[in-house]
Amino acid sequence: MSRFWSDKVRAITPYTPGEQPRHERLVKLNTNEFPYPPSPKVLEAIREVDGDALLRYPDPESLQLRSTIASYYGLEVEQIFVGNGSDEVLAHAFQGLLKQASPLLFPDISYSFYPVWADLYGIEYQQVPLDQAFCVSVADYRGDVGGIIIPNPNAPTGIALALAEIETLLQNNPDCVVVIDEAYVDFGAESAAALIRTYDNLLVIQTLSKSRALAGVRVGCAMGHPDLIEGLTRIKNSFNSYPLGVLAQRAATAAFEDKDYFRDTCARVISTRGGLSSALRAMGFEVLPSSANFVFARHPKHPAETLASELRARGVIVRHFGQARISEFLRISVGSEEQCEILLSELAEIL
Ligand code: PMP
């Protein structure tokens, strides 16, 4: 606390990012990074950047990257926005599109950054409870609504909504923006990008931090009607007009271009997730059905907090949230086959 803090700084409760250990050799299954390196073509694209490219400011419009994403999804470049990680893109959407007279709705169990941005920007919000099975019930999102944001698949549950349900949500709420946060979509859910031409109130947000193995580069994107994209661009150009450096733009473009590598490595993670889920169930865990690159699991006899700290002592880090309804669960990122084997053998000993 400092006497120089503004009222705003005094009032906010910031988001707590997952631990990024600096020195220890740990099996890191706590922040849902991809377990394999990015495509070799990404590394090549970074190596090809020369000094001349670095001494100048980058393209403020990230045109090449946006065109590549547009053609990947069969959209126009005016329908694509990019930013410094999807966290930045989400923050701009909160400030530029979701701050309205009526409250913003999002699930009670969801990405814990949402209430932080809502508080930062003074947005009134209501958290809509997931049902008994930890699923989003789209019928609960209607009435006096200023905006909706839902991750698909949801985090930290990993449970996905079908595209038809997202379409119902859009039809029920034509007068507010519906944001679908698709951070984990490539691991088993269907992208709502296919609905963008039909619904002018839909904004789909994705990240290159998970399925494209670029968490360290910080690139996220939004897709939607050109007017929504223009709204985000107005915020960006009132905040930081060069959010993506040259290296980030080149790396992200190459990642979208290498479709084969993307498809094959995601398939590996999905296959590892199946084995990990079965093995955890065999140990007595209840594992929610995951469409993401993590599993959410609880053991009827062993408190999650204790399991997390015992695993930590053995060099394996997983994520535990001390929040109501989910404090008995562990969120475990799907690592490489080898990392998952280490996790399972340490867990077997602890149990
Ligand atoms: N949305 C969800 C649901 C997430 O879990 C994360 C990762 N913490 C993000 C967005 C942000 O990812 P990034 O800023 O790395 O793109």
Atom of ligand 1 nearest to the CA of 209: 15
* Ligand 1 centroid – CA 3 distance (Å): 33
Q: What pLDDT does 152 receive? A: 98
Cβ–ligand 1 distance for 151 under 6 Å, the answer yes
Count Cβ atoms below 10 Å from residue 50 Cβ, excluding itself: 9
Residue 215 CA, ligand 1 centroid: distance in Å: 9
Span 290-303, pLDDT tens digits: 999 999 999 999 99
> What is the structure's pLDDT at 24?
77
Structure tokens at 332: 């475990």
Of 18-32, 77-91, 201-215, minimum mean pLDDT range? 18-32
- Averaged pLDDT score across all residues of the chain: 97
Measured from the CB, is residue 220 less than 6 Å from ligand 1?
yes
- The arithmetic mean of pLDDT across residues 142-150, rounded, is 96
Residue 207 Cβ contacting ligand 1 at under 6 Å? yes
How many CB atoms within 10 Å of residue 15?
Answer: 14
| Atom nearest to 207 CA in ligand 1 | 16
| 188 — pLDDT class (breaks 50, 70, 90) | very high
Quickly tell me which residue has 């709705």 as its tokens: 105
How is 245-272 classified by DSSP, letter by letter? -HHHHHHHHHHHH-HHHHHHHHHHHHHH
Q: Please state the atom number of ligand 1 nearest to the C-alpha of residue 90.
A: 10
Q: Is the pLDDT of residue 23 over 80?
A: no
Give the strand pairing for 177-181 and 147-151.
parallel
Q: Which two tokens stand for residue 151?
A: 């991750």
Question: Does position 14 have pLDDT exceeding 90, yes or no?
Answer: yes
- The answer to whether residues 188 and 152 touch, using CB atoms and an 8 Å cutoff, is no
Per-residue pLDDT for 19 more than 90?
no
C-beta of residue 290 within 8 angstroms of C-beta of residue 269 = no
Ligand 1 binding pocket includes 155 (Cβ within 6 Å):
yes
Is ligand 1 within 6 A of the CB of residue 290?
Answer: no
Distance CA 269, CA 34 (A): 8
Residue 13 Cα to chain centre, angstroms: 20
Which ligand 1 atom is nearest residue 154's CA? 3
Quick one: CA torsion of 340, 346, 349, 351, rounded to 10 degrees? -70
CA–centroid distance, 254 to ligand 1, in Å, is 21
- 351 Cα: distance to centroid of ligand 1 (angstroms): 31
Residues across the chain: 351
Q: Please work out whether the CB of residue 188 comes within 6 Å of at least one atom of ligand 1.
A: no
86 Cα nearest atom in ligand 1? 16
Q: Is 25 or 351 the better-scoring residue by pLDDT?
A: 351
211 lines ligand 1 (CB under 6 A): no
Nearest CA to ligand 1 atom 4: 183
Residue range 8-33: mean pLDDT, rounded = 91
Alpha carbon distance 179, 89 (integer Å):
11
Going by pLDDT thresholds of 50, 70 and 90, the confidence category of residue 110 is: very high
Q: Give the model confidence (pLDDT) of 237-293 as tens digits.
A: 999 999 999 999 999 999 999 999 999 999 999 999 999 999 999 999 999 999 999
Query: 224 pairs with which residues across the strands?
Result: 203
DSSP 257-313: H-HHHHHHHHHHHHHHHHHHHHHHHHTT-EE----SSEEEEE-SSS-HHHHHHHHHH
Residue 208 Cβ inside 6 Å of ligand 1? The answer reads no
Of residues 16 and 149, more confidently modeled = 149
User: Do residues 270 and 188 touch, judged by C-beta distance below 8 A?
Assistant: yes
Residue written as token pair 């990642």 = 255
The answer to whether the CB of 268 falls within 8 A of the CB of 235 is: no
DSSP for residue 133:
T
Distance 348 CA to ligand 1 centre (A): 31
The mean pLDDT value for 329-350 works out to 97
Q: Is the CB of 117 under 6 A from ligand 1?
A: no
- Average pLDDT, integer, range 306-329: 96
- Ranges of beta strands (E only) in 120-257 are 125-128, 147-151, 177-181, 202-207, 220-224
d(C-alpha 201, C-alpha 92), whole Å: 16
Atom of ligand 1 nearest to the CA of 219: 16
Q: Tokens in use for 81?
A: 């926005």
87 lines ligand 1 (CB under 6 A): yes
Ligand 1 near 88 CB (within 6 A): no
Which atom from ligand 1 is nearest to the alpha carbon of 151?
3
pLDDT digits (tens, 9 = 90+) for 126-145: 999 999 999 999 999 999 99
Q: How far is the CA of 175 from the centre of ligand 1 (A)?
A: 26
Give residue 212 CA to ligand 1 midpoint distance, Å. Answer: 13
